[in-house]
Amino acid sequence: MKYTWKVAMETLRTVPPIFGSFRTTIKDIEYQGYHIPKGWQVFTAQIVTHLDAKFFDDPRKFDPARFHNQSSIPPYCFVPFGGGPRMCPGNEFARTEKLVAMHYLVRQFMWKLCSKEEIYRKDPTPMPVLGLPIELEAKCPSEYARTKRNKVRSSIGSMAATVAVALLVAILTPLIVYLVRTRTRPPRRNLPPGSLGLPLIGQSLGLLRAMRRNDAERWVQERIERYGPVSKLSLFGAPTVLLAGAAANKLLFLHDALAPKQPRSLAAILGRRNILELTGDDHRRVRGALMQFLKPDMLRRYVGKIDGEVRRHFAGRWAGGGGGVVTVLPLMKTLTFDIIATLLFGLDRGEIREQLAAAFAGMLEGMWSVPVDLPFTPFRNGLRASERARRILEATVREKKANLEQGKSSPSDDLISCLVSLRDGDDDGRQLLTEEEIVDNAMLALVAGHDTSAILLTFIIRHLATDPTTLAAMAQGKFITTD
């Protein structure tokens, strides 16, 4: 089990699902002698420290053993889950999910890549363009042959086609604000080196092109070589400072003058009370509530449910046909959706879950689209899909509440039951989170935990297809159990 997680961490180091983090300065800040004005973006890319030879020997080599002694890795160098007060609260959940899924994969299947030449890109998360088709062979075909083939939903659609448009919108909207500001602001000194580039475009197209070529790491590295670890540029319509290094990661994660920044379309679809929109006491309150369910010692309660979903999936699409070609990424997306629906929303398989899956696919499309609310646009469709998802989740909240009141369920059954049961200590039993907050954050958890987890599993499988030594070591390891 420990070794499997090291393999996952090494995959997260070399192919982090989240390329980097953006923040916005809410007041002027000084960093390494440079001035970063209020309203500018700050950006760090995880891969910069993940592939830095100062922190990781032979950084391009895939070597899970480097995590044997984690304390030897300096702080803020390995940051796939972010850091500080906004560090991913789902990391323990993600860990459990990977361990259970890899347990069954490694024990039950052998596989090889259908195409060694498959192209990868960032869209904006890393992904194989063909979805990673593999040739699969069940090690114990009889066990699966007996299992009736499950009807697995078609995968949730990729958002690739809409990302470029979304980024262009992201350029246009803040750019107007930026142009107005830059014209009215007094001259500044000690700005970081670099150029803000052409109006409107800045360096966004260069970065987008590099992401599509799966070459964004080099793009960032070349800027660092040219200008140093602090440089200015313009990304997605806003003046931005690119920071590199462990100290930069720490600054981004911890500085209280840096606020989170999300595209407008995301807030519109997820709701204005989702945790990414909240700051200060509101952020702490909602995060504390989520952690009640996502904290490590809740693990024992939900590992069995994850196990059930994983078994059902692998017995279905993966092994139902006794092997053959399967495409990993869409199957992993379906798996991670189902795990979240079961565990976080307490939604059993059936019509309602299918409806939520369909609404979620529409939401994803709209989330990365031009935030213009006109008929037939992806954004309008996304808003409609979000309303449908919201209605399902609102009904789920009402049902969980009634079940708790009648003693038919327990707060630890699922995330929604947990959130509904939490009370504000200072008040007369008032619910800690409003219903709007519960629904918005349930939707956010689905979005935050779905693609990231599916991508990590996909890249672990891709790596293992070409690394029999690591695969053999994993197969011998002790895995998590449902006891």
Q: Which is nearer to ligand HEM, 258 or 361 (CB)?
A: 258
Amino acid at 282: D
Q: Which is nearer to ligand HEM, 89 or 366 (CB)?
A: 89
CB of 283 to ligand HEM, least distance (A): 6
Q: Residues in the site for ligand HEM, rule: CB under 6 A?
A: 17-18, 21, 80-82, 86, 88-90, 93-94, 275-276, 287, 444-445, 448-449, 452-453, 456
CB of 477 to ligand HEM, least distance (A): 20
Rounded to an integer, what distance in angstroms lies between the CA atom of residue 151 and that of residue 38? 53
Residue nearest to ligand HEM (CB): 90
Token look-up 């990977």 returns: 98
Phi, psi of 2, deg, nearest 5: -65, -40
For 483, the token pair is: 């006891």
Q: Which is nearer to ligand HEM, 4 or 21 (CB)?
A: 21
* Three-state secondary structure call for residue 183: helix
CB of 252 to ligand HEM, least distance (A): 8
Closest CA to 369 of 469, 263, 448: 263
Which alpha helices (H) appear in 109-190, and where do they start and end? 141-145, 160-184
* Three-state secondary structure call for residue 161: helix
- Other C-beta atoms within 10 Å of 422: how many? 17
Confirm if 202 and 237 have CB atoms less than 8 A apart: yes
For 394, the token pair is: 């609102």
CB of 323 to ligand HEM, least distance (A): 28
Rounded to an integer, what distance in angstroms lies between the CA atom of residue 285 and that of residue 275? 10
Question: What's the residue count for the chain?
Answer: 483
Rounded to an integer, what distance in angstroms lies between the CA atom of residue 470 and that of residue 341? 32
Q: Which is nearer to ligand HEM, 86 or 223 (CB)?
A: 86
Amino acid at 211: M
CB of 460 to ligand HEM, least distance (A): 10
CB of 94 to ligand HEM, least distance (A): 4
CB of 146 to ligand HEM, least distance (A): 32
Closest CA to 377 of 165, 181, 127, 222: 165
Rounded to an integer, what distance in angstroms lies between the CA atom of residue 120 and that of residue 128? 4
Token look-up 């000690």 returns: 190
Q: Which is nearer to ligand HEM, 258 or 392 (CB)?
A: 258
Q: Which is nearer to ligand HEM, 19 or 144 (CB)?
A: 19
Phi, psi of 112, deg, nearest 5: -140, 155
Q: Which is nearer to ligand HEM, 73 or 114 (CB)?
A: 73
CB of 124 to ligand HEM, least distance (A): 13
Burial state string for 308-325 with b = 16 or more CB within 10 A and e = fewer than 16: ebbebbbbbbbbbeebee
Q: Which is nearer to ligand HEM, 144 or 337 (CB)?
A: 337
CB of 158 to ligand HEM, least distance (A): 18
Q: Is 88 annotated as belonging to a binding site?
A: yes
Closest CA to 378 of 388, 365, 359, 387: 365
Q: Which is nearer to ligand HEM, 82 or 371 (CB)?
A: 82
Q: Which is nearer to ligand HEM, 278 or 465 (CB)?
A: 278
CB of 105 to ligand HEM, least distance (A): 16
For 59, half-sphere exposure in the C-beta direction (CA atoms, 13 angstrom radius) is 17
**CB neighbours of 450 closer than 8 A, spacing ≥ 6?**
156, 333, 336, 337, 340, 360
Q: Binding-site residues, please?
A: 88
Q: Binding-site residues for heme, please?
A: 88
